[in-house]
Amino acid sequence: MDKTLRVLFLTRGSASRAQMAAGLLRRLAGDKIMASSAGTEKSSVSPLATEVMLEDGINISNQTPQEIPSLFRDNFHYVVSLCDEERERYALFPFARKSIRWSVPDPETVNGSPEIRKQAFRRVRDQLRGRVKELVDAVDQPAKAA
């Protein structure tokens, strides 16, 4: 039986936040944690998310957002729902050992010049980097990973 921890990141559209979080988890955890991402709505990876992740040397352009029902047969140790608590409802996944909720703004909703929008994506990337690092550190502790 595979002992690799599996983490699923959920959002409404899965175009940016879930994709960035999954890319960050792959970078920070290597092959000790498997990252997946899904959304409640069909989408493709945001070009701005791809661009700001490449600034950190992380290529998410080949990631494919999945829809939540396609993962119902999968078993995840952690399911992390990402939403902007002030504007969205958290996505739910019924088959999770541990559910986590992170309030993270949706950079897709920011209007303005290309540079203003890119700055919003950078802020989200940086916020997610800190949260993902905390998650990796927590599951590295034997008492919390069991």
- What CATH code is carried by the domain that includes residue 94? 3.40.50.2300
Give the Cα separation of 84 and 2 in Å (integer): 34
The percentage of the chain sitting over the pLDDT mark of 70, rounded to a whole number, equals 90
User: Does residue 145 fall inside a structural domain?
Assistant: no
Residue partners of 74: CB distance under 8 A and separation at least 6: 6, 8, 36, 95
Position 144: which residue type? K
Over residues 139-144, the mean pLDDT reads 64
User: Does residue 146 fall inside a structural domain?
Assistant: no
Residue partners of 60: CB distance under 8 A and separation at least 6: 19, 20, 22, 23, 45, 49, 50, 53
Report the number of distinct structural domains present in the chain: 1
**Could you tell me the residue range of the domain that residue 60 belongs to?**
5-140
**pTM for the predicted model, two decimal places:** 0.89
User: Does residue 88 fall inside a structural domain?
Assistant: yes
User: Does residue 127 fall inside a structural domain?
Assistant: yes
pLDDT the model gives residue 146: 44
Alpha carbon of residue 16 to chain centroid:
8
Higher-confidence position of 43 and 119: 119
Residue 91, pLDDT above cutoff 70:
no
Contact 48, 72 (CB under 8 A): no
Q: To the nearest whole number, what is the mean pLDDT of the chain? A: 87
Over residues 43-63, the mean pLDDT reads 93
